Amino acid sequence: MLAGAGSGKTRVITYRIAWLIAQGVPASGICGLTFTNRAAGEMRGRVASLHGGEPDGLWLLTFHALGLRLLRDASGGADAPRIGFAVFDRGDSMGVWRACQKDLRIDSREFRPRALFENCSRGINRLEDPQAWDEAGRPSEQRLAGRIYAAYRKAMRRRNAVDFDDLLAWPLRLLSAGTIGADPRRFQHFLVDEYQDTNRLQYRLVRALLGDSSSIMVVGDEDQSIYRWRGADIANVLDFEQDFPGSVTVRLEQNYRSTQPILAAANSLVGHNRERLGKQLWTDNEGTDLPILTHCGTERSEAVWVAKQIGRQLLAGTKGNEISILYRTNAQSRPFEEELAGRSIPFRVVGGPTFFRRSEVKDLLAYLRLLRVDDDVALERATARPPRGIGPATVAKIAAGGTSAVGVLRAAAEEDDPAAFLIAAGAPPRAAAGAVTLAVLLREISSRLNRISLGDALEAILRDSGYRAWLNTQQDGSDRLANLDELIASAHEFGGEASAADKLDDYLDRAALVADADTASGSRNGVHLTTIHAAKGLEFDVVFVSGLEEGLFPHASALDDGQLEEERRLAYVAMTRARKRLFLSAARTRRIRGRERIQLASRFLREIDPRHLVVEEEPGAVTAAASEPRRGGATMSRRPRRGAARRSAPRKVAQPVDPNARGTGSPAPPSALRAGNAVFHPMFGAGRIVDTQGSGDRLKVVVAFARAGTKHLIAKFAKLQLLQS
């Protein structure tokens, strides 16, 4: 069943199970598989509702629960877990792995344990044996992972324990050896939900369980395969007819969620993928509003525009929990959180803490607080990450003399022998070195606050404290560093070029107030902020898909890995979360790692058929109209959207320039650039400045290029040349 977005995948499986039972198939002969306990519980509830009670003997469960049941029934084997084995979760498993890595004297700072463990896990789900990796020709890091894995397997056997990968791999091994106790092929009917998310191990396990007379029905959507990084193999869907000769493919193409304009735009985008079996979603929900695409100046103006649109939707009667802002990475949530909090619009961050409550953000802000106040709570955070050998007990001992521990550190930094001073104050000798390092860091940063900006101060803390280097050793370090880069960007935005000394107190107050607002508004009635991956399976009346820029969405890592099609599928998933209204947005400039960068619009925006979009070059000004789509993607004329004429006020048109004209060869200084100047850009060619904003190093120019269209550029970096007269 090729089931498109919003076409009722879960309904299909539950109704088929109920129908099979009504036809006389015993419930114990049916096995339904899905990925989460929540989904399995929902499906069981629906079947019970249709059947008049939960059928006895029905197996409707997750892949891992299936594996556990099979493993409990196993009769054993040379290396198989013994009766009464324990199941270790990821945390327990990582504890065993770290001990094995330590015993092998493989440096955990250079070779992160979690990264090596996950590398082996992905290999197992690809049907590889990591123990065979320790051989010539393999990359050195993979060979090390294989060596640790061999020791890890022995350690797990000594403990008579299995991990989550074992719950799938061991049943497959035992099925192949014929040592499963109960008859595993008793099932007459297999049904698999979200088949596009299965990996090769899960595929092989299902194949091994099929008897000669078993039937199998899978439900999935190749256009929503977005978990390759977790091991999902889209080939399981694409090759289904080849893997199961004689099978029938049924396409569920009627969407019960979105309006036709939304589906037409999403269809035109995902149609650019080659790895697909093909379908064209349609709906009876014709709708009248086409998706709106808006190009904003910066990520801040993008957040302002989104917040204004949300305000209008709320005034029109849309509930807050029926509105969602979607983004590619967690770090993008910060400007939206700040803008919504500033407008007293309730919201909640789904799938994680709000930006200013993320642990790494609070850690770095703790260092800032230590520059201003004697805050021993902030000191405990700063001494914990990166670890300095200083715990809460040491902080309490230092503060026992009647002053704060922070005050003692400040005094120690001024002494000739700060370590001796701290030991005399009550610090254990083993903790003195870490305390001295922190004390000296705080003194050095404090002495520079009048000469550096707030953003530069945060950058210095992140680097000199060792926090950046420490995060680089953590499994999720890259994501957390992205959040800290976004924090630095917010500090640059807030403080500008002013000194950190002038802006520090106001910034800390602002961060605290936003965090408090986040907590107060974190109700289920608030606007949802979430990554697109976390939004899969959800739907909302109004959806904003933000940050549609090259390198951000599609993400730069996907371009390097050649996974552009999965990024396109991710965009398709984002668009099809919307029931009634869809808004797309991009910023022309964005602060990345504290530096303002010019952003190119995402290629995905060019791939959407322009007939299916209303495009706004600037918030509130429509510069491209569209036609209303109907079923099947065809179009027909449509009446102007309410208010469109008012927003389409006439604009001044710049006099065109010769597209073949060349520049003088030398970049013009920003002070020489004026509206009306004819200019040449090394990439975009000849054009004319139609508007300017700001001055000096902050001057931005809007240039209408003869061939490249309108671009917003920062004059300092644009290298614009005046055209030769």
Q: What is the Cβ-side half-sphere exposure of residue 380, based on CA atoms within 13 angstroms?
A: 12
SS3 call for 583: strand
- 33 Cα distance to chain centroid: 26
Residues written for the chain: 725
CB count, 10 Å around CB of 370?
24
Q: Is 652 a catalytic residue?
A: no
CB count, 10 Å around CB of 564?
16
| Token pair recorded at residue 277 | 């079996």
Catalytic residue among 9, 257, 468, 568: 9
CB count, 10 Å around CB of 73?
14
DSSP code for 99: H
Q: Is 10 a catalytic residue?
A: yes
Catalytic residue among 163, 165, 194, 302: 194
Burial (CB count <10 Å: 0-12, 13-18, 19+), residue 187:
buried
Catalytic residue among 16, 348, 577, 688: 577
Q: Show the CA angle centred on residue 261, arms to residues 258 and 264, nearest 5°.
A: 95
Burial (CB count <10 Å: 0-12, 13-18, 19+), residue 666:
exposed
Residues near 29 by Cβ (< 8 Å), separated by ≥ 6? 186, 187, 188, 189
Q: Is 193 a catalytic residue?
A: yes
Phi, psi of 385 (to 5 degrees): -140, 115
CA distance 210 to 244: 11
Strand partners, 616: 294, 622
Going by C-alpha positions, the residue among 327, 259, 318, 339 that lies closest to residue 576 is 259
Alpha carbon of 721 to those of 544, 665, 666, 682, 702: distances in Å? 38, 7, 6, 9, 14
Catalytic residue among 101, 196, 224, 599: 224
Cβ atoms of residues 446 and 499 within 8 Å: no
Alpha carbon of 277 to those of 223, 281, 633: distances in Å? 9, 13, 18
CA distance 205 to 71: 12
Q: Which amino acid is at 650?
A: P
| Token pair recorded at residue 17 | 């199970």
Q: Which amino acid is at 456?
A: D
Helical pair 376-384 and 405-413, crossing angle rounded to 10 deg: 70
Phi, psi of 580 (to 5 degrees): -120, -40
Going by C-alpha positions, the residue among 65, 8, 26, 50 that lies closest to residue 193 is 8
| Token pair recorded at residue 533 | 């991956």
Catalytic residue among 163, 165, 166, 193: 193
Q: Is 577 a catalytic residue?
A: yes
Strand partners, 622: 616
Catalytic residue among 10, 437, 474, 475: 10
Residues near 310 by Cβ (< 8 Å), separated by ≥ 6? 323, 340, 345, 527, 542, 544
Q: What is the Cβ-side half-sphere exposure of residue 508, based on CA atoms within 13 angstroms?
A: 18
**Looking at the annotation, which residues are catalytic?**
9-10, 193-194, 224, 577
